[in-house]
Amino acid sequence: MPVSSDSDHSVAQPIQCILSDVDGVMTDGRIIYDSAGAETKQFHVRDGLGIKLWMQAGFPFGIITARNSPMVERRAVELGISHVSQGSGDKLQRALEILPEWGCELSSVCYIGDDLPDVPVMRRVGLAVAPADAAADVRNVAHWVLSSSGGHGAVRETIERLLRAKSLWSAAEASA
């Protein structure tokens, strides 16, 4: 990833927290059921390290997803993500409920989303991010469209870009 640009620097400075969708962002969006009916998901290990580095830098990370899945809860526990909202039909409303707990305003939020339920949040936050394979309507409202697809390092790409722009990446590398 190249050194951040002046544009990234100005966009990244006010960002103090990240909220992310799961399916299509932290996963590739596929929902797989085994023969017993159990659901499986795949998460990218680099996204996990990126989330840990973001939180080690002192910034909160939260999940807002419309679906309910025990795998999401398990992954959140593994990573130390304390703000997990599943079954959230109105993602904007849920974001507005979480942010006071963090002392953040919408203008200081980076939201990563990939499909139509994410658009209302993305239109209101300081930095809206879409994976490369997000729905066209989502890419159209995003400030940043990533080179990574959902489930293939999109969260890590976002975090690395933000930390580089905030001149915090070298500290993150040292703590990894």
Residue numbers in the known binding site are 21, 23, 114
Residue numbers in the known binding site for substrate are 23
Integer Cα distance of 99 and 4 in angstroms: 27
Q: Is the dihedral of CA 86, 89, 92, 98 positive or negative?
A: negative
Residue whose C-alpha is closest to residue 158's, from 137, 133, 138, 128: 128
What phi and psi, each to the nearest 5 degrees, are found at residue 58?
100, 15
Question: Are 112 and 21 within 8 A, CB to CB?
Answer: yes
Residue numbers in the known binding site for Mg(2+) are 21, 114
